[in-house]
């Protein structure tokens, strides 16, 4: 998996389909991680564990929102321009 910087544009010869598949896989993995973190939160009975689960859920949710924005940006960049 190639890593791109936060502010970098995609390199020439970039395969948008591969990037889309990668984003979809990361989003599926994150949904699973969020579900597991939610289950841990539901079972936590110690105050520190509850706090830890809340921080973890917030971090995972932020990462998921980031990937959604990346997917939307990729879709806009690969969509053919419409002439009016």
Which pLDDT belongs to residue 75? 86
Domain boundaries, the chain: 16-78
What pLDDT score was predicted for residue 1? Answer: 41
**How far is the C-alpha of 3 from the C-alpha of 1, rounded, in Å?**
6
Separation CA 78–CA 15 (nearest Å): 10
Write the CA distances from 32 to 43, 44, 51, 76, integer angstroms.
17, 18, 20, 27
Convert the pLDDT of each residue in 35-50 to its tens digit.
Answer: 999 999 999 999 999 9
**pTM above threshold 0.85:** no
């Amino acid at each position: 998996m190639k890593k791109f910087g936060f502010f970098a544009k995609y390199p020439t010869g970039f395969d948008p389909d591969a990037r889309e598949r990668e984003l979809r896989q990361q989003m599926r993995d994150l949904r699973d991680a969020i579900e597991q973190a939610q289950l841990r939160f539901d079972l936590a009975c110690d105050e520190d564990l509850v706090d830890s689960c809340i921080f973890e859920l917030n971090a995972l949710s932020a990462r998921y929102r980031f990937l959604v924005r990346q997917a939307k940006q990729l879709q806009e960049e690969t969509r053919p321009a419409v002439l009016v």
